Structure 1
Amino acid sequence: MESFTYIVLAVLAVLALIGTGAVVLVRRRRPELPPVPEREQITAADESPESPATPASPEPAPHEIPESIPGRMQRLRARLAGSGGFGRAVLSVLSRGDLTEADWEEIEDTLLTSDLGLEVTTSLMEELRTQAKVLGTSDPEAIRAVLRAELLRLVDPTMDRSLNLTRPAPTEGFTGEGAPAAAVLMVGVNGTGKTTTCGKLARVLLAQEHSVVMGAADTFRAAAAEQLTTWGERVGVAVVRSEKEGADPASVAFDAAQEAAAQGVDVVLVDTAGRLQNKAGLMDELGKIKRVMEKIAPVGEILLVLDATTGQNGMRQAQVFSEAVGVTGIVLTKMDGTAKGGIVVSVQRELGVPVKFVGLGEGADDLAPFDPEGFVDALLA
């Protein structure tokens, strides 16, 4: 009987062990729950008040939306009108009545100090003297109309101020991918704001619904490439640059044009290093950049960036750059006042090319296509 009892107990013990094993097996076979998505995972550190939760991957900052062209032109005209100009000073003298010789000398001095140049000033003085005798000087509005007409004639609204953004046919021998983009080369001396102007021009083109790639061919200043890259990130434009300081700028310009063709964008903007106009080697380098880019397609625009406050020194710069690379248009920066606005007239007469853009400040949208009538009206506001 005793043995029978032991047998029964042994059987019960075995059954108990089997039952425990079955439970473990079931637990192991339970399907695993899907992992919690990364953004929803919470750790003990996250729950701690000293360690607040942070998103795993923050949303990228949105690109800035450029101001529309009509909007920026209206704003810039208002700023010009409020800054005062030589036209207003001349008009105030003409409106005095019977003018003395001292009055005429005051007008002449005002025109000369506004960077109109001697030839233009002499021509304008002759016309004003003649019209003052014909009309008399007792009617300010009549004199204002004469002065406006003369200034507008000098600024010349008939000049074509549009950018040549027609995408050219590839140069014979070009084996890259895609169709070439319209190429715009930015040139000028140090300190005129070329790199900033390049970024601002990209915004203008984006506002006109053009796609853009920029090339950082100023390889002598690491800060220039960084600055252009920042502009690219700001507006959502790709920037082609070399990581090696002092790299061949012509090679970077070529790569930018090639990348623009491969991406199928409309325009490639190439920023170049500032250079003094009396350095022949550096000026020759500009010619090389242009020639290398034209292995892909012709360069449609070469914009000379001039500081409007440099006066007649800027005229000499313009002449040398035009001889070196064939300037097609002028961008006048730092025109945050119109007192020296005669540079518009003198540079156009000297080079035979138009002022195409004007910049009036440090703001991202403080660059707009030059408006002759708006500019003259601002002088006389």
Structure 2
Amino acid sequence: MGFFDKIKAGLKKTTDQLVHEIKRIVTGSPRLTGHSLEELEAALLGADLGVAMTQQIIAAVKQAYETQGSAGLDVFAIAAREVAASMKVPNPGLKRVPGLTVVTLVGVNGTGKTTTAAKLAWRAQQDNLAPMLAACDTFRAAAVEQLKLWGQRLQVPVIAGAHGADPAAVAHDAVTAALAQKKDYLLVDTAGRQHTRHNLMQELQKVHRVIGRKMEGAPHEVLLVLDGSTGTNALLQAREFSKAVPVTGLVVTKLDGTSKGGMVVAIQKELGLPVKFVGVGEQPDDLQPFDAQQFAEALFMIKG
């Protein structure tokens, strides 16, 4: 199964309901009325696309209807075009700076940060770059062990501390080691702190301050990892983490089977954060740079 097919399968629950509703609305009447526009708006909001994106699509549909009439009105194509244009990322993938590039991964427990860090290390290897992993989720022994296992599997060095160690100290040691060993990427897995716990957010900020003191300009990327199946809660997480640390992009995991795929659009639209990667499975190559066109076409079932 190709990556586009995996995205399509992952968005199936969202797409099936959304496409069914749109077809019902646009085929039920030969012309676009205030009532049908309201129904279309409700369908888009029901798919978690968010208010801003929904309004943008409705405006584009109205404009197309006014200029082309109902005969030339393709709501699916219009919606996909608006989503793709809004979510287009000029340079998808990880930022790269001369020498060492430091990337931190933040987010709550269960979103897949640890696995994402390992998959990004694998991607760096595919580009003939040398990665290193830092296990800064010292509050969960399982997270440290999981990252070490990935390190062994990928033959990537992992800097870790004892269970309960100061995460900032581990981050400091990791930057020191990555610089000394002339690594290209340092991928820092942070604790899955709940975004409502203020003291844990302060701990996350401390990790970033220590990294910045050790290497000017670092971290160069702060990726917020979100579980694509959590809907509105993912938007709340994105808001809070963006307040605490300078998030540069999003990684959306678990798009394989989610019914909340539209939330990806809502988050990007509200916060202006580019979606850098999406995950559709467990294998290393199941994490891919985000393609806005593919995503939009899958969401509105434009292709096959």
Would the TM-score normalized by the shorter structure come out above 0.5? yes
For residues 236-294 of structure 1, what are the alpha-carbon distances to aligned partners after superposition, in whole Å with 9 as ceiling and x for unaligned? 1000111x210001111111111111111100001011011111110011111011112
Instruction: Give the distance between the partners of 2:276 and 2:221, measured in 1 at CA.
Output: 11
Of 170, 176, 195, the match for 1:277: 195
Find the residue that maps to 1:271 and give its secondary structure. strand
Of 159, 162, 165, the match for 2:96: 165
Q: Which residue of 2 aligns with 1:256?
A: 174
Offset of residue 151 of structure 1: 2.1
8 Å CA contact retained: 1:241, 1:252:
yes
Aligned identity (percent) is 42
Instruction: Give the distance between the partners of 2:271 and 2:170, measured in 1 at CA.
Output: 29
Q: Which residue of 1 aligns with 2:141?
A: 222
Offset of residue 337 of structure 1: 4.4
For residues 127-147 of structure 1, what are the alpha-carbon distances to aligned partners after superposition, in whole Å with 9 as ceiling and x for unaligned? 21332343233457x444333
Please, which runs of 5 or more residues in structure 1 have no aligned partner? 1-73, 169-180
For residues 81-125 of structure 1, what are the alpha-carbon distances to aligned partners after superposition, in whole Å with 9 as ceiling and x for unaligned? 345344644653465251566644442222112221123213322
Residue identity in the other structure for 1:313: N
Residue identity in the other structure for 1:161: P
C-alpha change, 1:167 and 1:296, in structure 2 (3 Å) is: farther
Residue identity in the other structure for 1:118: V
Q: Which residue of 2 aligns with 1:345?
A: 265
RCO higher in structure (CA 8 A, sep ≥6): 2
CA RMSD of aligned residues (A): 2.2
Residue identity in the other structure for 2:184: D
For residues 175-234 of structure 1, what are the alpha-carbon distances to aligned partners after superposition, in whole Å with 9 as ceiling and x for unaligned? xxxxxx210001001111111111111112212221100000011111111000111111
Please, which runs of 5 or more residues in structure 2 have no aligned partner? none
Q: Please, which moves more after superposition, 113-122 or 275-284?
A: 113-122
8 Å CA contact retained: 1:200, 1:364:
yes
Q: Which residue of 2 aligns with 1:154?
A: 86
1:320 aligns with 2:237: no
1:206 aligns with 2:111: no
C-alpha change, 1:377 and 1:220, in structure 2 (3 Å) is: same
Correspondence list, 1:240-255, <5 A:
240-242=159-161, 244-255=162-173
Residue identity in the other structure for 2:177: E
Aligned length: 293
Residue identity in the other structure for 1:376: A
Instruction: Give the distance between the partners of 1:79 and 1:221, measured in 2 at CA.
Output: 31
Q: Which residue of 1 aligns with 2:2?
A: 75
Instruction: Give the distance between the partners of 2:71 and 2:23, measured in 1 at CA.
Output: 12
Correspondence list, 1:225-236, <5 A:
225-236=144-155
Of 33, 49, 53, the match for 1:116: 49
Q: Please, which moves more after superposition, 262-271 or 109-118?
A: 109-118
Task: Select the structure of larger CA radius of gyration.
Answer: 1
